[in-house]
Structure 1
Amino acid sequence: MAKTPFLPLIGITMGDPAGVGPEVIARALADPDVYRGCRPFVLGDAEVMREALPPGMAVRTIEDPAEAGGLAGRVDLLPLSHLPPSSRVPGRPTVEGGRAMVGYILEAVELARKGRIDAMVTAPINKALMNAAGFHYEGHTPLIAERTGARDYVMMLAGERLRVTLVTIHCALKEVPGLLDASAIRRTISVTHQALRRDFGIERPRIAVAALNPHAGEEGLFGDEEARVIGPAVQAARAEGMEVAGPLPADTLFFHAAAGRYDVVVCMYHDQGLIPLKLLHFADGVNVTLGLPIVRTSVDHGTAYDIAGKGLADPSSLMAALRMAASMVRHRAAAGEAAAIDRDP
């Protein structure tokens, strides 16, 4: 008798209850294709989820992730909050909703850390609301890294045609040159290289490193960061056997990366990577945290309060995040780094 395919058990955090998270989850879990690759369930609020469902779908509350049945059209949900009607209004965020939003994340991290789920996928949150609720982090990534004990972690944004990782993330552009050093760049290259092998199954990753300045500094005419910090980091990575090119002028680099010459581009700052990524993958980009002991992917969009509850939100990014999380789990399992446990519904 043929063995039943391994379907990773994936917890989806609902995100800000007032944002588009519940809606994109509902629309994604209405698609039978999602269940061919994983067994998803939601960590959130049952009433919020019910109010986001289209006709014909239902919420089934569960007490344990193992109860998730993986049936299209039915949302299995682990209830972690019971928000009052005033905190369930689409487009109107509240501090109470913000506390619940963080609670979903913390529970998913614990479940993943203990091996009770195979991966977590996060719906969008409001970073200011997170801080207003008493959790002083810049977003999901540093919170999850702290809770899992990860020290060297990297943000990746990925689509079918392009992947980018970031040396610096959320900071003012004027601060970037002072934050760059050879050690930070070298660490980003290394974490990226290891993750492409472990999580994406690329045996010998081809990594391109973007320059900071126009024309890669034009031999020092437009800046010296290429010669002073980026170049030495690239050379150090090469000395360790990694296939790394750079620093390369960013104005031409992304064309070649999107055409398939490189598996990833290591970028010096946030918008250097996200502008080309979102040009190609505005709807279906995925945010991945590399270097964690658990698998975590996320949608690559915000809470979109202006369209929340209006039936306009696109579930493509969430669906791509679920597919990528399931693929990462399988690659880790194939490498013997995570147990592909058959969990019968």
Structure 2
Amino acid sequence: LGKANAECGHASAAWLKEMDELALAGKVQATIMGPINTDALKMADKFDAVVGVEVGKTYLFLITGPLRVVHLTDHIPLRQVCDIISPDLVYKALRTIHDDFTRWGIPNPRIVVAGLNAHAYGEEDTQQVAPGVEKAKAEGIDVTGPAPPDSVFRWCIDGKYDVVLCMFHDQGHIAVKTWGFVGNCAMILGTPYIHMSVAHGTAFDIVGKGIANHEMMLTSMRNAASLGAGTGFYREAATA
């Protein structure tokens, strides 16, 4: 118990493969990935079994109550983010957010884009982010930005927007984990089916102690069911 090994890595990979096959065959409307240990997957040479983020195609999406954050880029060194961001990359993310939210029962979702620089003042904001936002606006997407990144998350929490598109990993993660860590969940946006997960790891330090918190898994289940039914996020469905 509480140690990575190849046998567990093979088991996790097999379960992930079966989950993917069920979803692609239309037998389930949504999937939820429990905590997995990447070391075990690597020991089994099965790390590619995990549905990951691919720049410009899929996006990490974190949900904690009213705060919902999509990451334009994920595990990329910060010095490289400035070179990767482009109007097309921003536009594709906004298109994906709009289309997926609409399919889940949130018509005309309100999106705010976090600027890259302080106060959203910088060449990257005006030349690499803003043109992508304007292209999305021209297609009827309800999007604002680039906006000051120190304000957008509070605006979302207050209900002014449905989701924030942030530029890089920690810009979004710090806001999410500060607002509320217990009970949040994650998903990969842009996949053929709803693919959710808990927002924590395998927690080997508490294995066998009977003190693991269930709320992230419960939130993932509730959101998966609600989004799969096309009735929006769980909080919205519960108060409708």
Q: TM-score, normalised by structure 2?
A: 0.90
2:119 aligned partner: 215
In structure 2, C-alpha distance between the alignment counterparts of 1:138 and 1:163, rounded to whole Å: 26
Question: Which consecutive unaligned segments of at least 5 residues does structure 2 have?
Answer: 232-240
Within the alignment, does 1:204 sit opposite 2:103 as a pair?
Answer: no
Alignment partner of 1:103 out of 7, 14, 21: 14
In structure 1, C-alpha distance between the alignment counterparts of 2:86 and 2:203, rounded to whole Å: 35
Q: CA deviation at 1:251?
A: 0.9
Contact 2:17 2:49 in 1 (8 A): no
Distance 1:105 1:185, change over 3 A: same
Give aligned pairs, total.
Answer: 230
Counterpart amino acid of residue 57 in structure 2: D
In structure 2, C-alpha distance between the alignment counterparts of 1:188 and 1:132, rounded to whole Å: 34
In structure 2, C-alpha distance between the alignment counterparts of 1:329 and 1:182, rounded to whole Å: 31
Q: CA deviation at 1:184?
A: 1.1
In structure 2, C-alpha distance between the alignment counterparts of 1:243 and 1:233, rounded to whole Å: 13
Within the alignment, does 1:299 sit opposite 2:198 as a pair?
Answer: yes
Q: How does 1:44-63 map to 2 (within 5 A)?
A: none
In structure 2, C-alpha distance between the alignment counterparts of 1:193 and 1:128, rounded to whole Å: 35
Q: How does 1:132-211 map to 2 (within 5 A)?
A: 132-137=43-48, 139-142=50-53, 152-199=57-104, 201-211=105-115
Rg comparison, structure with higher value = 1
Contact 2:13 2:49 in 1 (8 A): no
1:81 aligned partner: none
Give a deviation string over 1:139-175, Cα, whole Å, max 9, x none.
Answer: 4325xx8xxxxx8322211122110101101122222
SS of alignment partner, residue 140 of structure 1: coil
Give a deviation string over 1:34-61, Cα, whole Å, max 9, x none.
Answer: xxxxxxxxxxxxxxxxxxxxxxxxxxxx
Give a deviation string over 1:279-323, Cα, whole Å, max 9, x none.
Answer: 223011111222222221111111111112211211100000000
Alignment partner of 2:130 out of 224, 231, 239: 231
Within the alignment, does 1:311 sit opposite 2:225 as a pair?
Answer: no
Counterpart amino acid of residue 102 in structure 1: A
Which of the pair has the greater relative contact order for Cα pairs under 8 Å at 6+ separation? 2
Q: CA deviation at 1:132?
A: 2.9
Counterpart amino acid of residue 230 in structure 2: H
1:241 aligned partner: 140
2:235 aligned partner: none
In structure 1, C-alpha distance between the alignment counterparts of 2:79 and 2:87, rounded to whole Å: 18
Counterpart amino acid of residue 266 in structure 1: L
Counterpart amino acid of residue 284 in structure 1: G
Identity of aligned residues (%): 36
SS of alignment partner, residue 289 of structure 1: strand
1:267 aligned partner: 166
Q: Counting helix residues as a fraction of each chain, which structure ranks higher? A: 2
Q: CA deviation at 1:127?
A: 2.6
Q: TM-score, normalised by structure 1?
A: 0.63
In structure 2, C-alpha distance between the alignment counterparts of 1:94 and 1:179, rounded to whole Å: 36
1:329 aligned partner: 228
In structure 2, C-alpha distance between the alignment counterparts of 1:277 and 1:290, rounded to whole Å: 17
Q: CA deviation at 1:106?
A: 0.5
Alignment partner of 1:256 out of 142, 147, 155: 155
